[in-house]
Structure 1
């Protein structure tokens, strides 16, 4: 099984360290980078093209949304927040999110869901490609 590559962008060193520790315990995950600022994060996400981006959102999220607009190849974004209003917004819009502090149970559920969804998409693509007939 192909590993899910992850990049973490969170100002809090404590929260990043905690999430890294949780992610390292999951065998199908590979952490490709971690940073505490948007400038370095943009460079990393555009160079490394991770499958998942764990992105801390503060307040109204304006800085995070401006950051997202600059990403060349969009990964699946998991928003990290400790703000209840953000949790309600993410939940209502069916966005991927984790409430801080992140727990092993919440992270495992999210990653298993991610893996299952991507496997289903891969299986559908294989089926569609098998139905195509290429002409010379």
Structure 2
């Protein structure tokens, strides 16, 4: 019998890629796809899958939050997908858990599937997963983990480390991101989603598909007559809060 499988990722292309790679593997039966954490928690508790492919960075919560809310009788085998959480990669190895470091190659994916089939025989999986989550919580409380104080970026033939407290805002520009510190602008070839994952301190908020701001550099909110809200930064730069990010932004600012 094929192992019931759920794919959880907020990016459609990422879900489609995993689905396509599983097409020729009759050991796995994809019973659901989820694009956010709340949906994932509901589907896991309802369907009790054997395997889940879980993106760490989901809108509104992390993949770890999803696991902490699983109430089904059996913990599924979890394959984590990650791009930047270096602490988590070490923890995965320490607890013999599976992960895919994005972007991953087909060969790496199929090697992971073989390990999943082998792990089905291990009876201590739930205990190892609990130990992993406990260790993750402990490290985050100590101030370690993915809370990045220095942001490494490539500039020409060097990698420089930016102090995240000094980052005022980050703006998308085509395939690039522009990071603003003081009067300087650093241009990197990266997505805002990946950068936000590195800037996991609570003061960074995505207010628009093309804008991340540091709340410590906010001067004021500006309300227009057309029910629009702008954020004015300390350097007087004005950014619009898009409707899709408004509720989350105002909640994090303590206004809702």
Tell me which interval the TM-score lies in, with the shorter structure as reference length: 0.7 to 0.9
- Deviation of the 1:53 alpha carbon: 0.9
After superposition, the Cα gap between the structure-2 partners of 1:52 and 1:93, relative to the gap in structure 1 and judged at 3 Å, is same
Relative to the length of structure 1, the TM-score reads 0.76
Q: Secondary structure at the match of 2:104?
A: coil
User: Any unmatched runs of 5+ in structure 1?
Assistant: 122-136
Structure having the higher strand fraction is 2
**Which protein is bigger by CA-based radius of gyration?**
2
Please report how far the alpha carbon of residue 119 of structure 1 lies from its aligned counterpart in structure 2 after TM superposition: 4.7
> Is 1:9–1:41's contact at 8 Å kept on the other side of the alignment?
yes
Aligned residue for 2:56?
57
Measured after TM superposition, the shift of residue 120 of structure 1 is: 7.0
Per-residue CA deviation, residues 65-97 of structure 1 (Å, 9 max, x unaligned), is 222111012211110011261333322332211
Q: 1:70 to 1:84 in 2, by over 3 A?
A: closer
Task: Tell me if 1:117 matches 2:119.
Answer: yes
Q: Is the 8 A contact 1:15 1:101 kept in 2?
A: no
The 2-side partners of 1:25 and 1:120 are apart by 25
More helix by share: 1
**Higher relative contact order structure (alpha carbons within 8 Å, sequence separation ≥ 6):** 1
CA RMSD of aligned residues (A): 2.1
Alignment coverage as a number of residue pairs? 118
Q: Relative to structure 1, is the Cα distance of residues 120 and 79 closer, same or farther in structure 2, using a 3 angstrom cutoff?
A: closer
Q: Secondary structure at the match of 2:25?
A: coil
Q: What TM-score, normalized to structure 2?
A: 0.42
Cα offsets for 1:106-129 (capped at 9, x unmatched): 2211111221332576xxxxxxxx
**Aligned match of 1:26:** 25
- Whole-Å separation in 2 of the counterparts to 1:118 and 1:44: 21
Counterpart among 92, 95, 118 of residue 93 in structure 1: 95
Q: What 5-or-longer segments of structure 2 have no aligned partner?
A: 124-256
SS of 1:83 mapped into structure 2: coil
Q: Distance in 1 between matches of 2:93 and 2:121?
A: 23
State the Cα distance separating 1:46 from its structure 2 match.
Answer: 0.8
Q: Is the 8 A contact 1:11 1:36 kept in 2?
A: yes
Deviation at 1:33, TM superposition (A): 0.5
Contact 1:19–1:102 (Cα < 8 Å) also in 2:
no
Q: Which runs of 4+ in 1 moved over 4 A?
A: none
1:104: how far off? 2.1
8 Å contact from structure 1 (residues 57, 79) kept in 2:
yes
